Amino acid sequence: MSSTNNWRGADGIAILTVMPQSRYFVVSAFPRIRNPASALTIVLTTALFSLVACTTPTASTTVPAAASQTPVPAAAKTAKTMPPAATETPKYGNFTEDQLTRSIMAELAGQRGENTVALSEYAKLARESNNLSIIERAMHIAAFSREPNLAIEMGQLWLLQDAKAVEPRQTIALELVSLGRYRDAFHQFDILLEQNEEVDFRMLSARIAATSGANTPVLSGLIDDYESLLKRYPQHESLRLSLAHLYQLDKQPQPALAIIEQMLKEVERRDHDTKAPIDKQQAGVRGGDLVMLQVQLLEIMADHVNSFKKLQQGVRTYADHKELRLVFGRRLINDHKFPEAREQFSLLVQQNPGDYEMLYSLALLSMEVNQLEEARNYLQKLLQNGQKQDDAHYYLGYIESQQNHPERAIEQYQQVKAGSNFLPSLRNLTELMVRAKRYDELHSYLQNIRFRNSDLNLQLLTLEANILIEEKQYDIATTMLNNSVGAFPNNVDLLFLRSVLSQDTNDLVLMESDLRKIILLQPQSPVAYNSLGYTLADRTNRYQEAYELIKRAAELAPTDPAIMDSLGWVQYKLGMHREAKAMLEKAYKLYPDPEVAAHLGEVLWVLGEKSAATKLWRAALTTQPDSVYVRNTIQRLDPSASF
């Protein structure tokens, strides 16, 4: 028997893999019994039966492999551990008293969790006795214990007695895959196929993709093996899909695409011709899966236009294929076609009403295209079903804020308790409550969170201080930061925030003190050097001192455009106009910010290049009409100018 399960390779190819399902899949090689007396009775009985009642399976018996390092289907993981009753008359063997005793001791060792001891003893007994029940038991324990070489050895001992037995060959193949011996595993699969057993070759290519486990010569040799076998089984589905995957891994997308497109034609023909006979080797593949592979290969070949066309055609042809429509929707998002993406996700939600991830994606897309009421309905549906509650409350808060309902937004943000949106919600909540003059209530709220989450203490202190400074609540911010720095005197973030506040309140003495302390604490960080140097250049006449500080910042971060701007500005203050022009032009090219434009324009103006300065300022005001930096500079240099 076989069980079909999804398997995705590491490189993203979506494939369906048929994995062996074992009647002997062992959740625990040695199941524990609650009652010790019962345990001993069962162990003795089991061991005696295993040794004395040696059952030889016939060639037609299909017994898939036991657990190995290769992933197994979920169905197998819940299989019962006890084997079914023997269907043949037992063939009794002769065992020495020593062998019988050792087998019982091995079982007891397994009960104690000493699997290595148990396995070692069973392996020795298997080699000595050549008893099939002992060999089988040893192989199962070796597979469970992730001892692939020993599992292979036991499987080979089994095959010496029954060359057509399926389970040992499957176990050998799986363990060879786990060891990266792909061509040897392929040979075992070939034999199983000759025995008319179901084999899924995609296990091989998926394992290679997941582990990057085949060098070029091995990959080329394996491709040769596949091509040779395909001549004998030209319609074998998993063989063709696995070969296409190997071609892709070998950086040969063209032959991979040829296989997929041929299979797609066959599936389309099969779907249209209901009377056509269906080969059991072809029955499992879905056209939508093949379209996904086709699109992926076209993307690898950089044929983006054609891949988009195939996606469009695919979702029309296979309208119920969830994964294909999801790929199409995500492609539309990547292409910033949000209304079209929203349409696809809306269809996905209709087709899959219980898929709340889809519903969440649809809510976000509705927000992206400003359909806020629809987004609100989707988010409320998530809440009603107890799904993604923190995220739903966060975005409901955003919607209320966008619709100018700050009190409702505050209520929603306060219900976000965890997750990736927890800190953003606290930031938005802090901003809204400060604006609403509810700071005391906010401070208590944040303080309670800090007490419950000590790892967030400093983050929340800096967040609170930032918002207070942004909202120009300088008195409250001063008290709060002085208390925080008093509690954490060497915290660089708090010191830097207080230096920013000191600049805004014109307390340059405290600002310089905090920045110089940061330089002592972090002498290799350019930020404090640049901040102190720029402030001294811009708001004092200590230009040479400022120049030395900014030069040090530039040595530490030579490509930072903000530091380039500071350096150009202090060069201008020192009368180094040509050097300042060159430096500011470089900064503006990297970072066309209005403040840099104001500085560069002033240097150009002083150098007599007034037309260039005016043109630059006009361009800056086009992007940011209310720029204080540009307008103040124009007013100072050319009061009669109108922009």
Going from the N-terminus, what domains does the chain have, and what CATH number goes with each?
A: 1-201 (1.25.40.10), 592-643 (no CATH)
> Residue 561: how many CB atoms within 10 A of its CB?
18
* Percent of residues, the chain, with pLDDT higher than 90: 76
Residue 284: the pLDDT is 53
Please indicate, yes or no, whether the overall pTM of this predicted structure exceeds 0.75: no
Q: How far is CA 122 from CA 102, 107, 160, 487, in A?
A: 8, 9, 18, 65
Alpha helices by DSSP H, 132-252: 132-144, 148-161, 166-178, 182-194, 202-211, 216-232, 237-249
How confident is the model over 516-557, as pLDDT tens digits? 999 999 999 999 999 999 999 999 999 999 999 999 999 999
Assess contact for 55 and 88: CB atoms under 8 A.
yes
Kindly indicate the confidence band of residue 570, based on its pLDDT and cuts at 50, 70 and 90: very high
Q: With 60 as the cut, is the pLDDT of residue 229 above it?
A: yes
User: Which one has a higher pLDDT value, 51 or 7?
Assistant: 51
CA distance 291 to 265: 11
Residue 57 pLDDT greater than 50, yes or no: no
> Which of the two residues, 2 and 502, has the higher pLDDT score?
502
Predicted pLDDT at 275: 52
Q: Residue 532 to residues 515, 516, 554, 559, 593: CA-CA distances in angstroms? A: 6, 8, 13, 19, 20
Give the residue among 198, 158, 202, 160 at the shortest CA–CA distance from 177: 202
613-631: pLDDT as tens digits = 999 999 999 999 999 999 9
End-to-end CA distance of the chain: 81
pLDDT score, position 115:
87
pLDDT of residue 632: 94
What DSSP assignment string belongs to 446-494? HHHHHHH-GGGHHHHHHHHHHHHHHTT-HHHHHHHHHHHHHHSTT-HHH
3-state helix vs strand vs coil in the chain, percent to 5: 70, 5, 30
Two tokens, residue 638 = 């050319």
State the burial class of residue 542 (Cβ atoms within 10 Å of its Cβ: 0-12, 13-18, 19+): middle
Tell me how far apart the alpha carbons of residues 625 and 177 are, in angstroms, rounded to a whole number.
65
Which single residue is written with the structure tokens 């797609």? Answer: 264
SS3 assignment, position 3: strand
pLDDT confidence of residue 640: 81
Q: For 92-141, how does the pLDDT look when each residue is reduced to its tens digit (9 = 90+)?
A: 356 788 888 888 898 898 888 888 999 999 999 999 999 999 999 999 99
Answer whether 625's CB lies under 8 Å from 641's CB. Answer: no
User: Is 264 in contact with 287 (CB distance < 8 Å)?
Assistant: yes
Query: Tokens representing 269?
Result: 């023909």
Q: How many angstroms separate the CA atoms of 132 and 53, rounded? A: 10
The 10s digit of each residue's pLDDT in 471-495 is 999 999 999 999 999 999 999 999 9
DSSP state of 86: P
Burial (0-12, 13-18, 19+ Cβ within 10 Å), 272:
exposed
Q: Residues 137-170: pLDDT tens digits?
A: 999 999 999 999 999 999 999 999 999 999 999 9
